[in-house]
C-alpha cells in the first residue's frame, strides 16, 4: 500500500495569487515547517514536523506543491504528501497514520477559504 497521497483542486484565482496564498498558509499549518521554493517555478517543497494544523501526528512528512494553468484563466493546485523519517527519506513501512491524506486535505481546504 502506497503512503503517498496526490490530489489536485481547481481555483478561479491566478497562479501567482494561489502560490502566494499557499506560501502564507503553510506557516499556519506548522510554524516550524521548512519551505523550499523552486527558482522561477510555482513549486514548493515543505517539510512538516510532528504537529500539523494544531494536532499531533505520528510521523514527519513532506508535501510538494505545484500550481499550473487551469481552464478559463484559473489555476490548478497539485499537492503530494508522504511520511518521511528523521533524515528526510520517504517511509515505506511502519507508517502509523494517514498523515499524507490529512495534510493534503488541510492544505487544499485552507486554500479554498
- pLDDT average, residue stretch 84-104: 85
Residue pair 68/78 in contact (Cβ under 8 Å)? The answer is yes
pLDDT tens for 67-79 read 999 888 899 999 9
- pLDDT average, residue stretch 95-110: 87
φ, ψ for residue 109, nearest 5 deg: -65, -40
Residue pair 16/27 in contact (Cβ under 8 Å)? The answer is no
pLDDT tens for 11-64 read 999 999 999 999 999 999 999 999 999 888 899 999 999 888 888 888 899 999
Q: Which residue segment(s) compose the domain that 63 sits in?
A: 5-112
- Report the pLDDT value the prediction gives residue 1, as an integer from 0 to 100: 56
Domain count, the chain: 1
Query: Residue 30 maps to which CATH number?
Result: 3.30.530.20
Residue pair 77/65 in contact (Cβ under 8 Å)? The answer is yes
- Measure the CA–CA gap between 99 and 59, rounded to whole angstroms: 7
Amino acid at each position: 500500500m502506497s503512503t503517498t497521497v496526490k490530489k489536485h483542486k481547481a481555483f478561479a484565482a491566478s497562479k501567482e495569487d494561489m502560490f502566494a496564498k499557499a506560501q502564507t498558509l503553510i506557516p499556519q499549518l506548522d510554524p516550524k515547517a521548512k519551505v523550499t521554493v523552486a527558482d522561477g517555478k510555482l513549486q514548493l517543497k515543505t517539510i512538516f514536523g510532528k504537529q500539523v494544523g494544531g494536532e499531533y501526528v505520528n510521523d514527519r512528512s513532506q508535501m510538494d506543491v505545484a500550481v499550473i494553468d487551469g481552464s478559463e484563466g484559473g489555476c490548478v493546485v497539485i499537492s503530494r504528501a508522504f511520511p518521511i523519517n528523521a533524515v528526510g527519506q520517504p517511509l515505506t513501512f511502519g507508517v502509523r497514520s494517514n498523515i499524507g491524506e490529512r495534510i493534503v486535505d488541510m492544505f487544499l481546504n485552507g486554500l479554498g477559504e
